[in-house]
Structure 1
Amino acid sequence: MSRLTTPELTDIDAKTQGTLDTIAKQFGFAPGMFTTLAGNPAVLEIVMSLQGSIAKLLDAKTRHTIALATSHSNNCAYCSALHGYISTNLAGMSTEEIELARTGGSTDPKRAAVARFSQQVIETRGQVGDEDIAAVREAGYTDPEIQAIVTVVVVTLLTNYLNNVNDTAVDIPGAGA
């Protein structure tokens, strides 16, 4: 059971309800995480703004690989399930690719490197070693792309922490809890 209060839909202002409606259209359902965040419209707006901004970074499969690896490293069941759903239904990733990303791998060597690097960023709290930077560069990532990778990790970390603090109930279709 979630630990933070989720507002009643009748208590949500029109602007925030519009944001929730947009989210529901995008995903095909209304993830409970966003309804809980609607209890503080400024937080919901920040999360949505950050999500919109990182959509401009890297390609979708790489972003989702990072999100899956990060969510798994943070033991965030909610984000792992949500990113699995998004990766399957919106990014066209296979079940195998999703499971590999969660554990720091991929069938694509470049995405495997980004998954491992993302997990190193989490495990070292950003204090990665020179060998970690070298490995991600050797996979073909430029320094601006490494900055983008870290940004996606940190934005994912934010939602991981929000959901871990809340112990958000997994309400993702097909997640099987």
Structure 2
Amino acid sequence: MRRLQALDPADAPGKSRELLSDIVARHGEVGDMVATMAHSPALLQGYLDFSRAMKRVKIPRPLSEKISLAVQEWIGCAMCLSAHTEAAQAAGLSEADIAMARQGTSTDAREAALIALAVRVLAEPSSITDEDMAELRALGWNDRVIAEIVGLVSLNLLTGAFNLLIGLEPQEIS
């Protein structure tokens, strides 16, 4: 059941109206989640800026999707899982890769370590130790990628928690 309704750009508050109108002009439509975020101009602006910024991460797209799948599985957002499954397929991941990512792992040890870190950042960040960081570096992950995990997890938490809060379900995709 929807708890908050999506806004038409014309009905959105000031800054949100501008942001939604710009999205419509560039892409032809606004997604349901974004149109619902428009209730809060600050949230909508923050999400759009953060989402744009996270597109510049150095994490390869297939691995980024694996991380998103692992995090969304933990959060429990069916809408996000559906979207990231489609994105993972478009990035060339197999059904086995997708299933393993949803379990928080990968057949590749380097990737598995980064995916596990992402889940820990979400679920128990205080448990991450100096030894964990040293292990990631020993596997060849640099500080930029390690730092970007926090951003990727945070973006996934924002979208997953928002969709769960508003009651957005996959069958509502237009």
Q: How would you bin the TM-score normalised by the shorter chain?
A: 0.7 to 0.9
- CA, structure 1 residues 3+54, in 2 after alignment: closer, same or farther (shift >3 Å)? same
User: 2:20·2:30 contact (CA, 8 Å) conserved in 1?
Assistant: no
CA shift, 1:72, in A, is 1.0
Higher helix share: 2
The TM-score normalised by the length of structure 1 is 0.80
- CA, structure 1 residues 125+78, in 2 after alignment: closer, same or farther (shift >3 Å)? farther
**Alignment-mate amino acid for residue 82 of structure 2:** A
- Deviation readout 1:62-120 (Å, 9 max, x if unpaired): 2212211111111122211111112222x222222122111111233222221111111
User: 1:16·1:41 contact (CA, 8 Å) conserved in 2?
Assistant: no
CA shift, 1:11, in A, is 2.3
Which position in structure 2 is the counterpart of 1:85? 86
**Alignment-mate amino acid for residue 19 of structure 1:** I
Q: Secondary structure at 1:71's aligned position in 2?
A: helix
CA shift, 1:141, in A, is 0.8
CA shift, 1:30, in A, is 5.5
User: 2:70·2:119 contact (CA, 8 Å) conserved in 1?
Assistant: yes
1:17 to 11, 17, 21: 21
Larger Rg: 2
- Deviation readout 1:6-35 (Å, 9 max, x if unpaired): 22455243541332564x57xxx8642222
- CA, structure 1 residues 16+41, in 2 after alignment: closer, same or farther (shift >3 Å)? farther
* In 2, Cα distance between equivalents of 1:63 and 1:172: 25
* In 2, Cα distance between equivalents of 1:154 and 1:64: 14
In the alignment, is residue 138 of structure 1 matched against residue 138 of structure 2?
A: yes
Within 5 Å, give how 1:115-134 maps onto structure 2.
Answer: 115-134=115-134
**Alignment-mate amino acid for residue 57 of structure 1:** V
- CA, structure 1 residues 61+128, in 2 after alignment: closer, same or farther (shift >3 Å)? same
CA shift, 1:140, in A, is 1.7
* In 2, Cα distance between equivalents of 1:108 and 1:31: 34
Within 5 Å, give how 1:65-80 maps onto structure 2.
Answer: 65-80=66-81
Gaps of 5+ in 2: none
- CA, structure 1 residues 131+31, in 2 after alignment: closer, same or farther (shift >3 Å)? farther
* In 1, Cα distance between equivalents of 2:38 and 2:130: 41
Which position in structure 2 is the counterpart of 1:102? 102
User: 2:120·2:128 contact (CA, 8 Å) conserved in 1?
Assistant: yes
* In 2, Cα distance between equivalents of 1:54 and 1:11: 29
* In 1, Cα distance between equivalents of 2:103 and 2:62: 15
Gaps of 5+ in 1: none
* In 2, Cα distance between equivalents of 1:92 and 1:100: 14
